[in-house]
Structure 1
Amino acid sequence: MEEQLNQHPYDLDEETLFLVSQTFKALSDPTRIRILNLLFHKEHSVNEIAEALELRQSTVSHQLRFLKNLRLVKYRREGTSLFYSYDDEHVMHMLKQTIEHSKHS
């Protein structure tokens, strides 16, 4: 109880700090930004993402795994294909605002 009294409302616990830093790490990579920007508009398979962004399928799969582990993207299975879409409206909103800010500057 005494420990809670000493905490300020703006203090962040270690888990929150870690998740915030990992989210910014995800958004610091140009390839991941391109993938998220593509998924902002509609879901795509790994092959579609690779083709649209002119990347190797293995590169796309690696980046999607990173984004999935952070719960920034999700997938659904259709037969043998996986279709990816974004999974966090907050992060996508932040990404869209950052892109708009960059174009405005």
Structure 2
Amino acid sequence: MINSQETDALCNCAIIHEDTLNKVRGEMIGDRHLLKMAELFKTFSDPTRLKIINALILSEMCVCDIAALLNMNQPAISHHLKVLRQAELIKYRREGKTVYYSLDDEHIELLFKQGLAHVIEK
């Protein structure tokens, strides 16, 4: 059953606003970039990966530390780190036998904080 709020949101207009369509068509982002954005947001859709990103905003960390922090086993954390690396959200550096992970660039923190601000606001 459709409630009145949903009914109010339906457009009863049959007029096509050509000026608006032409303006928007000229400014739309290309499919290649939209596909990459969809993949980015898909990567952000996992709570464990968000926890890892949150931790890496606060400090560079190795797999052992991330596993201990999230109370998970190292292979599971390594899997998530691989996904984050493939999405170019994190990078690593090796120091002896230890590999340290950090955010790839400042945009990742901004995306995270914007998403957080949005959910807190609601």
TM-score tier, shorter chain, comes to 0.7 to 0.9
Q: What SS class does the counterpart of residue 8 from structure 1 fall into?
A: helix
> 2:70 maps to which residue?
53
Taking a change above 3 Å as real, the CA distance of residues 82 and 102 of structure 1, as seen in their structure-2 partners, is: same
Greater than 4 Å deviation, 4+ residue runs: none
Give CA deviations for 1:1-23 in whole Å, capped at 9, x if unaligned: xxxxxx72323132x12210111
Q: Percent identity?
A: 39
Which residue of 11, 24, 40 corresponds with 2:29? 11
1:78 equivalent to 2:90? Answer no
Q: 2:109 is aligned with what amino acid?
A: M
**Separation in 1 of the partners of 2:26 and 2:117?**
33
Q: Between Structure 1 and Structure 2, whose CA radius of gyration is higher?
A: 2
Unaligned runs of 5+ in 2: 1-24
> 2:7 maps to which residue?
none
Q: What SS class does the counterpart of residue 66 from structure 1 fall into?
A: helix
Count matched residues.
98
Unaligned runs of 5+ in 1: 1-6
> 1:101 maps to which residue?
118
Provide TM-score, normalisation by structure 2: 0.74
> 2:83 maps to which residue?
66
**Separation in 1 of the partners of 2:40 and 2:49?**
11
Deviation at 1:97, TM superposition (A): 1.9
> 2:55 maps to which residue?
38
**Superposed CA RMSD:** 1.4
> 2:17 maps to which residue?
none
1:24 equivalent to 2:41? Answer yes
